[in-house]
């Protein structure tokens, strides 16, 4: 196990009706003038936004609103938010929505208190030294941003997707009510589930030895997702199944399952070019890429893939040929993704094999290598896209 620090100070408020405590928690963490930040009209139509406002009003807290955050959130909306916050002297940002909305709120939170262009933080030209406090009311289990210090934003000019991370961006509080997901379409639910599982796998595939506790915690989240995702898709208003999936999504990404070990985020990176080029859902792109990445790298550490196959997917160990077991685990994962309605190859995703050179070019690794479980060259990445293009069950 490697040395590590783990700091997750977010106050998580979980359960039925908890959005009605938004005002109480904004007050607890010192907010007096709030920007309510949200995405689509669904939070308006469902009445959620009204309940949040009522809760703020009950505590005598003033607010302004900014909606319209898109999936894969854009820099343009963040500039708008920064300007509004400055004009209105906002001192607290409340995100009401999913991961895109939270990531946009985080961009605003660091931009408001910075003299330069907020994009500097995403280009590693500036370090986060202060940020407005933020809170979240989560509407989809997926990104884990409600419990992380990370934010991923797309610059419209060139469609560049970049990220920033700082403990200062960890939400002061996050409100998680599983009921808010009852109306989510099956496809979006499955995309969220895939993203959650990817967050775990990207920690699971490590070169660090002696990591039994985090291995087991990773497997705990994966086993939960394998049980709960089909239940949620079959029965969208199943509170218990939604609740398990929602808390699993937070645990998957606040890093408690990933501390003290090297991690591998290449699948996320390789996928980002797909959602960048085709504007597909991040989870759907991951469903296509992640098993392909596994097939490309499993020989690097067959034992680790055998562990995944036997502990997570219940495959039987082929003692004479463990590689068979490793491959069976990867097949089981792809089958699971298919069963929950995810695409498993380029055709199902709507991507084109002839675009592979463009995707590799945009990845931008040049003659170098990525970091991770297996360091990848441009040629390796092209090969992974190719496996993904043709994958079958």
* Nearer to its own copies (CB atom), residue 4 or residue 368: 4
- Compute the least distance from the CB of residue 249 to its own copies, in Å: 10
- Compute the least distance from the CB of residue 227 to its own copies, in Å: 6
Distance, CA of 281 to CA of 77 (rounded, Å): 19
Distance, CA of 132 to CA of 34 (rounded, Å): 10
Q: Which helix (H) or strand (E) element contains residue 53?
A: helix 48-58
Distance between start and end Cα atoms, the chain: 36
Per CB under 8 A, residues contacting its own copies are 1-18, 209-214, 216-217, 219-221, 223-224, 227-228, 239-241, 243-244, 247-248, 251, 256, 259-260
* Nearer to its own copies (CB atom), residue 108 or residue 246: 246
Of 195, 363, 336, 144, nearest in space to 274 by CA: 363
* Nearer to its own copies (CB atom), residue 13 or residue 96: 13
- Compute the least distance from the CB of residue 8 to its own copies, in Å: 6
Strands of 62-66's sheet, edge to edge? 62-66, 33-38, 92-97, 134-138, 173-176
* Contact yes or no for 385/356 (Cβ under 8 A): yes
Distance, CA of 249 to CA of 54 (rounded, Å): 28
Is residue 66 helix, strand or coil?
Answer: strand
226 to each of 134, 150, 221, 232, 329, how far by Cα in Å? 32, 26, 9, 11, 13
| 233-252: b (≥16 Cβ within 10 Å) or e | beebebeebbbbbbbbbbbb
- Compute the least distance from the CB of residue 214 to its own copies, in Å: 8
Of 157, 148, 146, 76, nearest in space to 118 by CA: 76
* Nearer to its own copies (CB atom), residue 18 or residue 154: 18
Q: Which residues contact 261 (CB under 8 A, 6 or more apart)?
A: 1, 2, 203, 206, 208, 211, 214
* Nearer to its own copies (CB atom), residue 104 or residue 224: 224
* Nearer to its own copies (CB atom), residue 137 or residue 297: 137
Phi, psi of 162 (to 5 degrees): -135, 160
* Nearer to its own copies (CB atom), residue 114 or residue 239: 239
- Compute the least distance from the CB of residue 97 to its own copies, in Å: 21
- Compute the least distance from the CB of residue 132 to its own copies, in Å: 19
* Nearer to its own copies (CB atom), residue 154 or residue 214: 214
* Nearer to its own copies (CB atom), residue 2 or residue 353: 2
- Compute the least distance from the CB of residue 294 to its own copies, in Å: 22
- Compute the least distance from the CB of residue 291 to its own copies, in Å: 23
- Compute the least distance from the CB of residue 254 to its own copies, in Å: 9
* Contact yes or no for 78/66 (Cβ under 8 A): no
């Amino acid at each position: 196990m490697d040395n590590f620090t783990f700091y997750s100070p977010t106050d998580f408020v979980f359960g039925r009706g908890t959005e009605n405590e938004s005002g109480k928690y904004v007050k607890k963490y010192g907010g007096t003038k709030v920007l309510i930040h949200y995405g689509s009209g669904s939070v308006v139509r469902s009445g959620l936004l009204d309940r949040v406002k009522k809760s703020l009003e009950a505590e005598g807290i003033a607010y302004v609103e900014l909606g319209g955050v898109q999936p894969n959130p854009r820099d343009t909306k963040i500039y708008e938010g920064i300007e509004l916050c400055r004009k209105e002297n906002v001192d607290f940002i409340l995100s009401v929505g999913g991961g895109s909305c939270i990531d946009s709120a985080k961009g605003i939170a660091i931009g408001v208190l910075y003299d330069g262009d907020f994009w500097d933080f995403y280009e590693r030209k500036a370090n986060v030294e202060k940020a407005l406090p933020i809170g979240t009311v989560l509407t989809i289990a997926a990104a884990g941003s409600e419990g992380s210090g990370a934010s991923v934003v797309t610059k419209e000019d060139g469609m560049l997707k970049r990220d920033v991370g700082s403990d200062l961006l960890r939400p002061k509080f996050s409100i998680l009510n599983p009921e808010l997901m009852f109306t989510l379409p099956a496809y979006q639910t499955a995309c969220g589930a895939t993203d959650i599982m990817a967050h775990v796998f990207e920690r699971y595939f490590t070169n660090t030895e002696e990591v039994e506790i985090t291995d087991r915690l990773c497997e705990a989240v994966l086993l939960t997702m394998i049980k709960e995702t089909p239940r949620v898709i079959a029965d969208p208003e199943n509170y218990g199944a939604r609740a398990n999936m929602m808390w699993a999504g937070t645990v998957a990404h606040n890093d408690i399952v990933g501390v003290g070990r090297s991690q591998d985020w290449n699948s996320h990176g390789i996928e980002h070019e797909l959602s960048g080029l085709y504007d597909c859902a991040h989870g759907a792109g991951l469903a296509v890429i992640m098993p392909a990445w596994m097939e490309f790298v499993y020989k690097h550490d067959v034992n680790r893939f055998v562990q995944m196959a036997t502990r997570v997917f219940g495959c039987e160990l082929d003692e004479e040929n463990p590689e068979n077991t490793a491959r069976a685990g990867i097949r089981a994962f792809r089958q699971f993704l298919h069963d929950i309605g995810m695409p498993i190859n380029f055709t199902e995703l709507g991507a084109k094999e002839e675009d592979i050179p463009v995707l590799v070019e945009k990845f931008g690794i040049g003659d170098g290598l990525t970091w991770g479980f297996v360091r990848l060259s441009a040629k390796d990445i092209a090969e992974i896209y190719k496996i993904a293009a043709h994958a079958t069950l």
